[in-house]
Amino acid sequence: MKKLIKGLREFRANYVSTHRELLEQLSHGQKPRVLFITCSDSRIDPNLLTQTDVGELFVIRNAGNIIPPYGAANGGEGASVEYAIHALGIEQIVVCGHSHCGAMKGLLQLGKLEEQMPLVYDWLKHAEATRRLVLDNYSHYDSEELLEVTIAENVLTQIENLKTYPVVHSRLYQNKLKIYGWIYLIETGEVLAYDPESHAYLPPQSQLPEYELEEGPPRGQYRKTHAPPVACSLPFAESAEPVISGPDALRESEAASEPLEIRSKAAAPNGRNTKPANAPNRDQADLTPLWLSPEQAERIYRGSTSTAKR
């Protein structure tokens, strides 16, 4: 508590004194640009992560960054989503999971929680679609790999849950709302963003629209076009079609200059075949990614929709 009180004094002395105009503006109302949905985990700070100021993010936090489907619960999550979009006019939503998520660990051992933490047990049941999908499709992975996949798949499940809300469904139909899926890697400070076109987690700048600057995009960044990805100078990968999937989804590489291991797709559902440079010699007909079976590749590339709705 002493540290908190000291922090309050420093806040007034250092921040308030230099941001009086901003705080005065915020006293008349809020106009956040993004609804940021993430975990309650103390290791995540949405404003620190995105380097945004007070008033720029409307935040929903809970164990496991879970949004129950519409009508499944009368908690604050649904009300906050509805308020953010209808009352505040927010047009962008980020669902952000993170590595080493304790809620996802609990989800994979749900039965053990019922007696010790019954409220946590009841809450995590709202992520049952994630649990069932992972156990049915990735049960042969070891515990660490299974957790990585669960974190990645849960983000996609929560995006599907968001789409069950009438206000979200309506704004998506009007093309007035965009939803993004992120994964924050605590150990490296990196963020990956789910790309629905390539069905993969990519560096987030790959989702930016074309730069409107006459001189073009800043060096080292990616210009998004309607054409398939081409070789570009990304700080994260040298591959023409970077993708993170399967058990390597959240794993660091050994090279310090490449904090995330991003592989090229050996075979994708859209038919484009690009064999990884480090892949051993195999028959030309066998183009399945080394780290995924054909069924798993179909799942991870398609997201959570197809299996979850079976």
User: What is the radius of gyration, based on Cα positions, of the chain?
Assistant: 21
User: Which residues lie below 8 Å from residue 173, measured CB to CB, with a gap of 6+?
Assistant: none
Task: Quote the CA–CA distance of 269 and 303 in Å, as a whole number.
Answer: 12
Is 39 assigned a ligand-binding role in the annotation?
yes
Task: Quote the CA–CA distance of 200 and 271 in Å, as a whole number.
Answer: 15
Is 41 assigned a ligand-binding role in the annotation?
yes
Is 101 assigned a ligand-binding role in the annotation?
yes
Handedness of CA 186, 179, 299, 166 (dihedral sign): positive
Strands 263-264 and 242-243: antiparallel
Task: Quote the CA–CA distance of 159 and 174 in Å, as a whole number.
Answer: 17
Residue 161 neighbours by CB distance under 10 Å: 26
Cα dihedral 64, 65, 68, 74 in deg (nearest 10): 100
Is 195 assigned a ligand-binding role in the annotation?
no
Task: Quote the CA–CA distance of 49 and 64 in Å, as a whole number.
Answer: 18
Amino acid (1-letter code) at residue 119: L
Contact 51, 146 (CB under 8 A): no
Retrieve residue 193's tokens: 């963003």
DSSP string, 109-168: THHHHHHH-HHHHHHHGGGHHHHHHHHHHHTTS-HHHHHHHHHHHHHHHHHHHHTTSHHH
Q: Which residues are annotated as a binding site?
A: 39, 41, 98, 101
Q: Which residues are annotated as a binding site for Zn(2+)?
A: 39, 41, 98, 101
